[in-house]
Structure 1
């Protein structure tokens, strides 16, 4: 696990909403789709878009976005189902525990938390399993510890 962790934080709620809406509309520049943007968009969708079933739709949303910016979703790049689903579980858990109420404050607290770290899924998965083709293509249960649930 890495020890240095300095996420890029957000100043305004508007910037986070723009990421969520940009993901949905495939209207973000590819370089804007960072780790922090993934988590910000997930939190935004979970809290502000009850019309979207994140569990059912997240794979298609991210795959479609990747393809819209020239990306490929295959065995070695693009959408990763197990990592995405681990973070969705983590964001939900974070939301159930946080005292923050504003969108930017919540996202920034998430990004500063253990659940916001890039290596957070490796607390539950071995590197070998998490970065396998099977885990990329579909959800695989963790082999080290169960994902947190509410």
Structure 2
């Protein structure tokens, strides 16, 4: 299990929102912890423009530049948010988020390379995919 309880998941999301989460905790698991918490508690921050603003501001606060080659990546973010929302919807409404997160990380989403089943490396890491949503070029997303 990545996080022991609901408070640990909330701490990750709150740290991104208020820009206090240490950069070392903004891991693959941390991204999905924040995504799940936002999907359940702050749907207003899951809209494309809101999540872009949130993550860009967090990146800037932690010394990560948002450029054509680093920092915020719109296609990866939106695909991950959609995957997190779909996974969350497959659980009861009152399922503890740390349990939902553990099952998510045990699924295909736990592999940081899960996106390559849908996008080629060239497409996913292109400047247009970093800046805007680009549809998958290998297979449609299943959710």
Q: Under a length normalisation based on structure 1, what TM-score does the superposition of the two structures give?
A: 0.88
Q: Give the C-alpha shift of residue 53 in structure 1.
A: 3.8
CA offsets, 1:95-126, max 9 Å, x none?
A: 22235811110111111111232111111101
Q: Give the C-alpha shift of residue 130 in structure 1.
A: 0.5
Distance 2:109 2:90 in 1: 12
Q: Tell me if the contact between 2:59 and 2:71 (Cα under 8 Å) persists in the aligned partners.
A: yes
Q: Mind listing any 5+ residue stretches in structure 1 that lack a counterpart?
A: 1-7
Q: Give the C-alpha shift of residue 17 in structure 1.
A: 0.1
Match of 1:77 among 70, 83, 90: 70
Match of 2:111 among 110, 117, 128: 117
Distance 2:109 2:123 in 1: 19
Distance 1:48 1:134 in 2: 30
Distance 1:85 1:38 in 2: 12
- Residue 51 of structure 2 is matched in structure 1 by 58
CA offsets, 1:73-110, max 9 Å, x none?
A: 00111011111111111112212223581111011111
- Residue 3 of structure 2 is matched in structure 1 by 10
Count of residues paired in the alignment: 141
Q: Mind listing any 5+ residue stretches in structure 2 that lack a counterpart?
A: none
Structure 1 vs Structure 2 CA RMSD: 1.5
- Residue 34 of structure 2 is matched in structure 1 by 41
Distance 1:96 1:30 in 2: 29
- Residue 26 of structure 1 is matched in structure 2 by 19
Q: Under a length normalisation based on structure 2, what TM-score does the superposition of the two structures give?
A: 0.92
Q: Tell me if the contact between 2:22 and 2:62 (Cα under 8 Å) persists in the aligned partners.
A: yes
- Residue 138 of structure 1 is matched in structure 2 by 132
